[in-house]
Amino acid sequence: MSTELSATDAAGALSMNDWYDQLTVTLIEQICEPDANTVDIGAGAGDILRHLLRVAPRGRHVAVEALPSYAEGLRRDFPGVTVVAAAAAERTGRDSFVHVVSNPGYSGLRQRPYDRPDETLRELTVDTVRLDDVLPGDRRIDLVKVDTEGGEVLALRGAVELLRRWRPVIVFEHGGDHAMREYGTTSADLWALLVTELGYELRTLPGHRAGQPALDRAGFADALREHWYFVADRPSPGPAGGSGQHEPSAWQKGTEP
C-alpha cells in the first residue's frame, strides 16, 4: 500500500496551490546550495523566485516571464536577476499570448480550460525564446522550475541541451492532457522527453518528498488524477554504474543537507 497521503489529506486547510508552493520551497531549501544557479520559467510576480534568491544568494538566477507587467515588476524587485521578458517555447519568435486578467496565474500561450467559467481574457503578442539560445551554455544549472499552464513540453524542448548537459532537478506543474490540448502536446510527449530521451525519473512532488520510488508510465497516468506538481530528478547510479535504487536526498529524509 502506498505511503503517500492523498493530496486532499496532506493539504489539510491549505489550498492545493499553497500546499504545492510549500513543498516547492522546502525542496529548494534542501537541494540548493548557496551558489546554486536556477531558472524560473513562468516566474509571475516572483513568489518562488524570492525563495531561490534567499536560499542561493551567491547563485545566478534567470526569471522567464511573458506578461509585460510582471516582467517589469521582476526587474524592479529583483535587480540581480536576469529577467527574460518572453515565453519559453520550442522556437524563438513571436506568438499570441492569453492574459487571464481575472486570474493572471492561468495566463499562457494558449487558452486552456479554466476552473471558473467567467474568466476575463485579453490577447497579447509576446516574444518567445528557446532557452538554449539565450542562456550561456557554460553556466551550470542546478534547478529549473516550470509553471507554464500547459506549455511545459514546448518550454522544455527549447531547453533540451541545457537539460542534457547539466541535468538540473526540474520541479514542474503539469495538469495533464486537458491543459495541454491547445499546445498540440500530451502527457505521453512529456514522458517521452524527460524519461525516454533525457533519462530522468519522475515523481509527484509529495512523492519525491516522501522518498518514494520513481513512477512508471502507468503510475504517472494514475498520479495525474490527483496531482499536478511533479519532480524530474537524476536517477542514482547503481553498484555497476547503471540506474539503481533511488537514494533519498536530504530533503526527502527531512534533514539538513
* 167: its cell numbers: 541535468
* pLDDT 10s digits, 24-59: 999 999 999 999 999 999 999 999 999 999 999 999
* pLDDT 10s digits, 121-174: 999 999 999 999 999 999 999 999 999 989 999 999 999 999 999 999 999 999
Is it the case that residue 7 has pLDDT exceeding 70?
no
Average pLDDT over residues 209-228: 95
- C-alpha count within 13 angstroms, C-beta hemisphere, residue 198: 27
Average pLDDT over residues 110-114: 85
Any long-range contacts for 189-194 (C-beta under 8 Å, 24+ apart)? Answer: 189/153, 190/152, 190/153, 190/156, 191/217, 191/220, 193/153, 193/156, 193/157, 193/160, 194/156, 194/170, 194/232
Q: Which amino acid is at 214?
A: A
Q: What is the pLDDT of residue 2?
A: 35
Specify the pTM: 0.86
Q: What is the pLDDT of residue 237?
A: 58
* pLDDT 10s digits, 236-255: 654 443 443 344 444 444 44
Say what percent of the chain tops pLDDT 90: 74
Q: What is the pLDDT of residue 71?
A: 97
- 80 with 53: CB under 8 angstroms? yes
Is it the case that residue 94 has pLDDT exceeding 60?
yes
Is it the case that residue 176 has pLDDT exceeding 60?
yes
* pLDDT 10s digits, 16-30: 888 999 999 999 999
* Residues 185-214: b if buried by 16+ CB within 10 A, e if exposed: bebebbbebbbeebebbbbbbbbbbbbbeb
Interatomic CA distance for residues 74 and 35, integer angstroms: 21
Q: How far is CA 26 from CA 21, 126, 151, 192, 257, in A?
A: 9, 33, 25, 28, 12
Main-chain dihedrals φ then ψ at residue 251, nearest 5 degrees: -70, -30
Mean pLDDT of the chain: 88
Pairing relation of β-strands 93-100 and 143-146?
unpaired
At residue 88 the predicted structure's pLDDT band, cuts being 50, 70 and 90, is very high
At residue 256 the predicted structure's pLDDT band, cuts being 50, 70 and 90, is very low
Query: Which positions ≥6 away from 99 have C-beta within 8 Å?
Result: 67, 107, 121, 122, 123, 124
Interatomic CA distance for residues 182 and 109, integer angstroms: 9
At residue 113 the predicted structure's pLDDT band, cuts being 50, 70 and 90, is confident
Interatomic CA distance for residues 98 and 107, integer angstroms: 6
Q: Considering only CA atoms, which of 78, 76, 88, 73 is closest in space to residue 52?
A: 78
